[in-house]
Amino acid sequence: MIEIVEVRKVFNAGRHNEYTALAGVSCSIASGQVTVFKGPSGSGKTTLLSIVGCMARPTSGRVVLAGRDITSLPERFLTEVRRRKFGFVFQQFNLIKGITALENVMLPAYPLGERRAALEARALGLFELLCIADRAREKAELLSGGEMQRVAIARALINTPETVIADEPTAHLDSRLSREFMEIVGRLKREGKTTIIASHDPLVYESEIVDRVISVRDGKIEPGDP
Amino acid sequence: MILHPAIIALLTASVLTLLMVLAASFLGVRILGRWDLSSGSELQLELERRTYLISTILSHAFVFQLASLFLFVRTIDDLCTLFSGSMCAAGTLDANVYGYPALALKVATSLLAGVWLIVNYADNQACDYPLIRRKYRLLLAIAPLVVAEAGLSFAFFLGLKPDIITSCCGSLFSRDAANLASDIVALPAGPMMAALYAALALVFASGGFFLRTGRGGALFSTAAVTAAVLAVASIFSFLSLYIYELPTHHCPFCVLQREYGYVGYPLYAAILGGAIAGAGVGVLMPSRRIESLKDVVPALQRRLCVAALLCFALFAVLATYEILASNLTL
Amino acid sequence: MSRLEKQRNILDYTLSSLLRRKGKNAALTLVFTLVVFMVASAVLFAQAVRREASLVLKDTPEIIVQRTVAGRQGLVPEAYVERIAAIRGVSAVRGRLWGYYFDDAFGGANYTLMVPDAFPYEPGTIVVGGEVARNSRTRVDNLLPFKAHDGTVRGYRIGEILPTESALVSADLILMTEPDFRSLFGIPAAEVTDIVLSVRNPQEIATIAHKIAALLPDTRPIVRDEILRTYDAVFAWRAGLLLAILAGSVAAFIIFAWDRATGLSAEERREIGILKAVGWETGDVLTMKFWEGAVVSLSSFLAGIALAYAHVFFASATLFEPVIKGWSVLYPDFRLTPSVNAPEMAALFFITVVPYTVATIVPSWRAATIDPDAVMRF
């Protein structure tokens, strides 16, 4: 369970281009559920995702993860927490060109010092799960949009995290692929994983798999949402 | 000045180390002033990023410092042929007034560098940088020594002119010369040997006790540093005699030469290693009480203790071997 | 979890990353190798020549006694030999006859003429060094003409040519009998060029030199170790001079390396952002940068030294020869004994790899502290 209390995030503080992305946000995210942050671009939902997912530290406020206050953790330990508990799927997939899909998927586990053979086996298992096993050894730039999305999901799952976070996952996908994505989310939910998605795509936030929708606007959560 | 390639290399290393330590010190001062872990402000994030930089700079600087100590000793030993009257490093160092102070400071900074690296490592294991202030204060204490050492090294090498008549180690380290070295040398061999072995025994005993019970770390640390000092003194006073198989040759530098199997290097390396690891255990003692380091520090201290014991064991084995295998009987 | 596996994984990624940008990295490695090659050649060559010189001087007598007349070297009376022999601790004293002869034919060359201890040939025959024969375009059994002190021309038969192994000392050497020498140069019977002596106990050399100077005030005793020291210093000084000149290129290379490290392309920046976004922390990226530097610098270092080794010991350091050995018409073509020792390698390491590493610390750190947050917004 993730709890954020009065979190503020200010960029370029004290300078002429000071910008407040989040202006005092509080909410709790239940485990095992699919939560969607809904809102237009510029509403601060990406910033909210990065703070919930331990990728950034709030300017003020607290972040509590499973009862542990992680607000002041220095980067090294925050990253430790993040890579074990969270998997990220980015808007642009962000795969590294020039290396194979398999290597892309194994990357997040490199610093953990696992034996390569075991790592590769697990990665290939994920490829199987997502039905793209035959594309595992292709260079990342040669994959189609849908294949890249699945590779990105596989990469997010390589360290068997409890929570998967996706930022505008359907932004570059057609309806068919978007529905396939939500199906995969459903599968993850059945496995007990928590999923947090930021999206302004109705196909996402109106899906029946979604348990809770939180509206975000101008760096604040809109009242009416618990 | 002698434009010897090794001298150029050593001076380059000196300059670079000096610059790195000074840069790290300036950056560190800022951290000391504004560090506030609980704040999520951009300044704090910047300071945290900066502490990585300082850590990296200093790790490099101190590793180079330790390496250049060995190159320094080897070089001045090789250079001895350029000075009439000298047969080993002792003569080169005596060629001008900066030699011995430069060496002494180099050893001191190497020791402190090792200790700093240990404290840095411990600090990085905890999630709230508990030792950060202590660490940078230590750095500010080391910085002037590094500056002085660089200055002395430069003065020493720049002042070297070949053909200077300088003393041979025979006259520098004999009983009749009026300096500190000769005082050590004049100490009778028997009691010195007894003192050395007693000190080593204390190190092993207190180390074993510390490993088993986790107490007595301060005692162990003191024992280790004392033993290291005694070990160096004993090389002067009797170990050298056994190695050279001559009852009057007390020079601590000739052991570094080929004809004695370069045995000086492992001996001194073991002493330095034992001193750094032992001192590290002692320096970390106050940190045991810190909440976030409660689990980390004892384990680290145990590893350091084992490392120190191994170093002293190596020294003891080598020293005893030299004594037993020598043709000299005192 | 294992530290070793972690390093292996990161090293793996580093290698693949380096290979993906072959062009840039190849240029860097090439230039680095070149720099190491130049510096290593200078150092290896100078050390080798010094070693050679000290080996050659090893068997020379401990003290040479010369006589100075009005500050210049004059002939020594043979009677001095007995007086020196009477000093305690001296062994094997003898007078030597040797001198220089300038041959203005064939481009002009200075030969060293000497009367050795034991000369197996009769008067009228000489033994010459390799370069002498080459320069005079002559061979065994031919006659070599010399202009004597009284203006007459003497011809001597060449009995033997000295082998090339001794080239460093014998290249310009001519050996002849004592009567031939004295008559060629007009040196009276009771005089010699200088006196050499051996000393049994090395500790006594300085004392004996002082005694000789006191006993025979018009003489100047020269101790062999002083010669060794002087050569040592000269070669070391010349090597150092070369290095000082090369310092410019080393500095230029460091600036190039720093510039290369600082100028991350947008693609590289994106990659590091992705790495940090998927869970690599700053320390891990720093480790990757460290491996990058290590792979480039170590491979350049080894390649540079290997090339320098080949250059110095197989090609006789053609590029640096004149600077280190000095100028002379007659220079022997000899092979240096290949050898490399740890302090030399350490010195080279400190002059090349260490500055490179230091220059890349700040750029590496800047790369490693790229904010993963930014990746989210691409």
Per-residue model confidence (pLDDT) at position C314:
77
Q: Which of A94, A103, A153, A199 should one mutate to test binding to chain C, selecting the residue with the greatest count of C CBs within 10 A?
A: A94
Q: What is the ipTM of this complex?
A: 0.87
Output the pLDDT for position C328.
47
| B45, B49, B127 ranked by CB distance to A57: nearest | B45
A160 touches chain B (CB under 8 A): no
Q: Report DSSP state, residue C216.
A: S
B55-73: pLDDT as tens digits: 889 989 988 988 889 889 8
CA distance A74 to chain B (A): 6
How many residues can be counted in chain A? 226
Q: Which residues of chain C have pLDDT under 50?
A: 327-330, 378
Q: For residue C360, what are the CA distances in angstroms to B57, C19, C256, C365?
A: 10, 19, 11, 8
Of A11, A59, A75, the CB nearest to B48: A75
Quick check: helix, strand or coil at residue A89?
strand
Q: Which two tokens stand for residue B237?
A: 């006073």
The token pair at B295 is 């689990």
CA distance to C17, C23, C132, C169, per residue, from C12 (Å):
9, 19, 61, 54
What distance in Å separates the CA atoms of residue C133 and residue C115, rounded to the nearest whole number? Answer: 18
- Give the Cα-Cα-Cα angle C297, C290, B105 (nearest 5 degrees): 85
Residue C287 token pair: 């480790």
* A85 touching chain C per CB within 8 A: no
Query: Which of A195, A191, A219, A217 is CA-nearest to residue A207?
Result: A195
Decide if B162 and C229 are in contact by the 8 Å CB cutoff. Answer: yes
DSSP state at residue A222? P
DSSP symbol at C334: -
Tell me if residue C258 falls in helix, strand or coil.
helix
Please report, in tens digits, the pLDDT of each residue of chain A (226 residues total). 888 888 888 887 777 888 888 888 888 888 888 999 888 877 888 888 888 888 888 888 889 988 888 887 888 888 888 888 999 898 888 888 888 999 999 999 998 888 889 999 999 998 988 888 888 888 888 888 888 888 999 999 999 999 999 988 888 788 888 888 888 889 888 988 999 999 888 888 888 888 888 888 888 887 765 4
Cβ–Cβ gap A60/B124 under 8 Å: no
Question: Measured between beta carbons, which residues in chain C are less than 8 angstroms from residue A99?
Answer: 16, 20
Q: What is the pLDDT of residue A209?
A: 87
- Residue of A94, A99, A159 with shortest CB distance to C277: A94
Three-class SS state of C144: strand
Subunits with 3+ Cβ pairs within 8 Å of A are B, C
Q: Which residue of C has its CA nearest to A157?
A: C278
| H-assigned helices in chain A | 45-52, 75-85, 101-106, 116-129, 145-157, 175-190, 202-205
In angstroms, the CA A129 to CA A148 distance is 15
Q: Is B248 on the interface with C (CB under 8 A)?
A: no
SS (H, E, C) chain B: CCCCHHHHHHHHHHHHHHHHHHHHHHHHHHHHHHCCCCCCCHHHHHHHHHHHHHHHHHHHHHHHHHHHHHHHHHHHHHHHHHCCCCCCHHHHHHCCCCHHHHHHHHHHHHHHHHHHHHHHHHHHHCCCCCCHHHHHHHHHHHHHHHHHHHHHHHHHHHCCCCCCCCCCHHHHCCCCCCCHHHHHHHCCHHHHHHHHHHHHHHHHHHHHHHHHHCCCHHHHHHHHHHHHHHHHHHHHHHHHHHHHCCCCCCCCCHHHCHHHCCCHHHHHHHHHHHHHHHHHHHHHHHHHHCHHHCCHHHHHHHHHHHHHHHHHHHHHHHHHHHHHHCCCCC
pLDDT of residue A18: 83
Distinct helix (H) and strand (E) counts, chain A? 7, 10
Would an 8 Å CB–CB cutoff place C27 in contact with chain B? no
Q: Which of the residues B7, B8, B46, B47 would you substitute to probe the C interface, choosing the one with the greatest number of C C-beta atoms within 10 Å?
A: B8
| Residues of C with Cβ-Cβ distance to B78 under 8 angstroms | 343
Query: A113, C4: Cβ pair inside 8 Å?
Result: yes
CA atoms of B275 and B267, how far apart (whole Å)? 12
Q: Does A57 touch chain B (CB under 8 A)?
A: yes
* pLDDT of res. A122: 92
Indicate yes or no: CB of B84 within 8 angstroms of CB of C43: no
Residues in chain A with CB shorter than 8 Å from the CB of C20 are 98-99
Instruction: Please write the tens of the pLDDT for every residue from B145-182.
Output: 999 999 999 999 888 876 655 666 666 666 566 666 66
| Interface size between A and B, measured as CB pairs under 8 A | 29
pLDDT at position B84: 67
In the stretch 226-245 of chain C, residues with CB closer than 8 A to chain B read 226, 228-230, 232-233, 236-237, 239-241, 243-244
Residues of B in contact with C357 (CB under 8 A): 60
Question: Within its chain, how far is the Cα of B268 from the centroid?
Answer: 9
**CB distance from B2 to chain C under 8 Å?**
yes
pLDDT of residue B78: 80
Which chain B residues are Cβ-neighbours of C243 within 8 angstroms? 3, 5, 8
CB–CB of C149/C184 below 8 Å? yes
Chain A residues touching residue B37 (CB < 8 angstroms)? 72, 74
Smallest CA–CA distance from B41 into chain A, residue: A59
Walk along chain B (330 residues) and give the pLDDT tens digit of each residue: 567 788 888 998 999 999 999 999 988 888 888 888 777 677 888 888 888 888 889 989 988 988 889 889 888 888 877 776 677 777 788 778 888 889 889 999 999 999 999 999 898 888 788 888 888 889 999 999 999 999 999 999 888 876 655 666 666 666 566 666 666 666 777 888 888 999 999 999 999 998 888 888 889 999 999 999 899 888 888 888 888 887 777 778 888 887 888 888 899 999 999 999 999 999 898 888 888 888 888 888 999 999 999 999 999 999 898 888 887 776
Minimal C-alpha gap between A78 and chain C (Å): 9
C291 touches chain A (CB under 8 A): no
Q: What is the pLDDT of residue C317?
A: 66
